[in-house]
Structure 1
Amino acid sequence: MRAVILTLRFVLELCALAALAYGGWRLPAPIAVRILAAVLLPLIAALIWGRWVAPRGSHLLPDPVRLIPEWAVFGGATVALILTGHPVLGGVFAVSAAVDRWLLHVLKTSTGGEPA
């Protein structure tokens, strides 16, 4: 069960990066700004994730403080989906991320997969 939940979490992380890139691309701005946003938004999210959330992050935060950068990334992806005209997809993404995190908590598993 842990493997399934952790796999879903990884897929959600990739979806968050894709949603942020899509949100940047869909900005009502000149093409140069859109390209820059489509690159920088997921890059910033990946840096946040890699530093404070990822299992091999350089400055891992303990649970529950880890929820702050985690929800900044997932929340940003949700907002990007909603603002680009995909509110149902944004809602499904947000609920999926919340349920996945709740299941990790119920199974007493950290986001790195080891028992908490």
Structure 2
Amino acid sequence: MLTMTKGAAAALMFFLELGVLIALARWGFTREANIVVRILLGLGTPAAFATLWGLFMAGGKAPYQLHGIARGAFEVVWFGAGAAALAASGLVTAGVVFAVVYVVDAALRLLTNQV
């Protein structure tokens, strides 16, 4: 049972990570600006966030791997940005659901010693 819970929490974490990038792209593409700015925001914001994830969080392969409080703070900002991007692009309920799912997943990972 514990192995299944750990696997489910890890899978959910992966999909939440992708969700942040999708939410940021949606936010960028839905701004009220000219098409060039929307394209830059829609592609550039997720690219910048993905770079940060690769530098600091990428499962044991990150060159500047974060641990402890720094890792927790990074996660909160990362997933909070995803929830905020959904809300700012007009999907407020989706943003709230996203935040709640992240909190549940974080709690599961804490309970199964996956952090």
Tell whether the structures are fold-level matches, with TM greater than 0.5.
Answer: yes
1:57 aligns with 2:62: yes
Aligned-partner residue type, residue 13 of structure 1:
E
Structure 1 partner of 2:12: 8
List structure 1 segments (4+ residues) > 3 angstroms apart after TM superposition: none
Deviation, 1:75, is 1.2
Structure 2 partner of 1:66: 71
Q: How large is the RMSD of aligned CA atoms in angstroms?
A: 1.0
Deviates more, 1:4-13 or 1:59-68: 59-68
Identity of aligned residues (%): 34
TM-score by length of 2: 0.91
Deviation, 1:64, is 2.3
Query: 1:66-98: CA deviations, max 9, x gaps?
Result: 022222221111111101111110000011111
CA distance in 2, matches of 1:51, 1:68: 15
Structure 2 partner of 1:41: 45
Deviation, 1:26, is 0.5
CA distance in 2, matches of 1:54, 1:101: 16
Aligned-partner residue type, residue 52 of structure 2:
I
1:17 aligns with 2:21: yes
Specify every segment of 5 or more residues in structure 1 that has no aligned partner in the other structure, as ranges: 111-116
Identify the structure with the greater helix proportion.
Answer: 2
Query: 1:31-81: CA deviations, max 9, x gaps?
Result: 000000011110111111111112121111112210222222211111111
Count, aligned residues: 110
CA distance in 2, matches of 1:44, 1:74: 14
TM-score by length of 1: 0.90
Specify every segment of 5 or more residues in structure 2 that has no aligned partner in the other structure, as ranges: none
Aligned-partner residue type, residue 44 of structure 1:
A
Aligned-partner residue type, residue 27 of structure 2:
G
Structure 2 partner of 1:114: none
